Amino acid sequence: MINTTLFVIVEEHKENCGSYLGSNGDDDYVPVNLRKHPKKELRHAYSDVLPENPRRRSQTMNEAKEHAVACLQRELDKAQKEMKLKDEECEKLLKVRDQMGEELEELTASLFQEANNMVQEANIKRMNTEKHLQEANQKVEILEAEVLALKQLVLTSTPSSPNKHLHPQICINNSTEKKKDKDKDKGGKPFWKTHRRSTSHHEFTKEARQEAEAQQEAKNDRCKEIDPVCMEEFKCWRLQSDLGRSSHFLSRIIVEDIWPCLNFSNSKLAERVQCCVEDNNIAIEPIPGDNSYPRKCSLTETHHLCNYKIRLGDDSEWYSISQHCRNRIAAVCDFYTYIRYIHQGLVKAEDKEVFYEISRLRKQMSLARLGYI
């Protein structure tokens, strides 16, 4: 715009001034009077007033140029600053983009790693669960087989003809009686050898004789009269079949038979024994080795021949006990075992027959406490 204005001013000046070149090619100006119109005045590009002095006009043109250059320089500096700011902003954005890309890659890698870990853990848990399930199924099958076997044993066992597998003391009594009978036979009548019989015949007659003896003993061992109050309590308990002490039937037996049978000098250990017997969490084993010398019984706190030891619950300590203490604990364990069979529904006999068996077990506890067993 400034150059265009200067060009217009110069052209107007040329129109008003005449000049020619010499024929010899010199650049000397020769004035001629060709002016017909009045001389026009120069004016500033940014002013409506034309300067009158030529020097002043040139000075004005220089100022206009300087002003234009200054304006252009300012605009250039401003543009350069803006470009610099934009470059810095672009660099920041590039850094942010690179940082976001790195974070995204790290996050993706961590997510994939976590997903792989979760899949591995899930597979391990699934394998362990399948293993535990298989073991549990095997245990269930074994327990079901044991329950069926116990049901068959209990169904074939009645108070009149108890099963020798459930009542091992019958076998012991039978063996002792057989020994006595043999001794009597040896001391009395002579023995004549008859014809030889097969082994199956001997086994059959032996089992039949044992069953007959057991039935006869059970009939002779029955109580002659039944307590009607205790019988009614037993019937009510069998309908509920609760192993706790809330029932009148079990509370009566605990007070009248179990507590006296498990009453020892060491009261603290006796209480623990009673709790473990109720929870079916007691172990009785014979002491191996030579037991011919007396030792201190943990329950009676006296020195006797202690041929047995007991362990209570998960305790690793064993307590030595005498034969008398062992018989008393075993009698109570037999009672609780039969009560648990009734609670589990394994005993299918009538109320009267079951009550006879419970009365016999109560008698065994009393005999063991008094030392007759």
243-251 average pLDDT score: 86
CA torsion sign, 58 to 64 to 69 to 73?
Answer: positive
Q: Output the pLDDT for position 23.
A: 42
Number of H helices, E strands in the chain: 10, 5
- Residue 255 carries which DSSP code? I
Rounded to whole angstroms, how far apart are CA atoms 287 and 321? 10
Rounded to whole angstroms, how far apart are CA atoms 116 and 244? 52
**Whether pLDDT at 15 is above 90:** no
Q: Any idea what the Cα angle at residue 341 is, between residues 336 and 343, rounded to 5°?
A: 90
CA dihedral 4, 9, 11, 14 (to 10 degrees): -160
26-50 average pLDDT score: 48
CA-based R_g, the chain, Å: 61
**304 three-class SS:** strand
Which of 168-172, 267-271, 348-352 has the least mean pLDDT? 168-172
User: On the CB side of 249, how many CA atoms lie within 13 Å of its CA?
Assistant: 22
Q: What is the pTM of this model?
A: 0.46
Q: Output the pLDDT for position 59.
A: 77
**Whether pLDDT at 20 is above 50:** no
**Whether pLDDT at 27 is above 50:** no
Instruction: State which of 141-155, 188-202, 279-293 shows the largest mean pLDDT.
Output: 279-293
Q: Output the pLDDT for position 244.
A: 80
**Tokens found for residue 10:** 């110069």
Percent above pLDDT 70 for the chain: 66
Which of 104-108, 142-146, 241-245, 304-308 has the least mean pLDDT? 241-245
Rounded to whole angstroms, how far apart are CA atoms 15 and 23? 22
Which of 78-82, 172-176, 285-289, 324-328 has the least mean pLDDT? 172-176
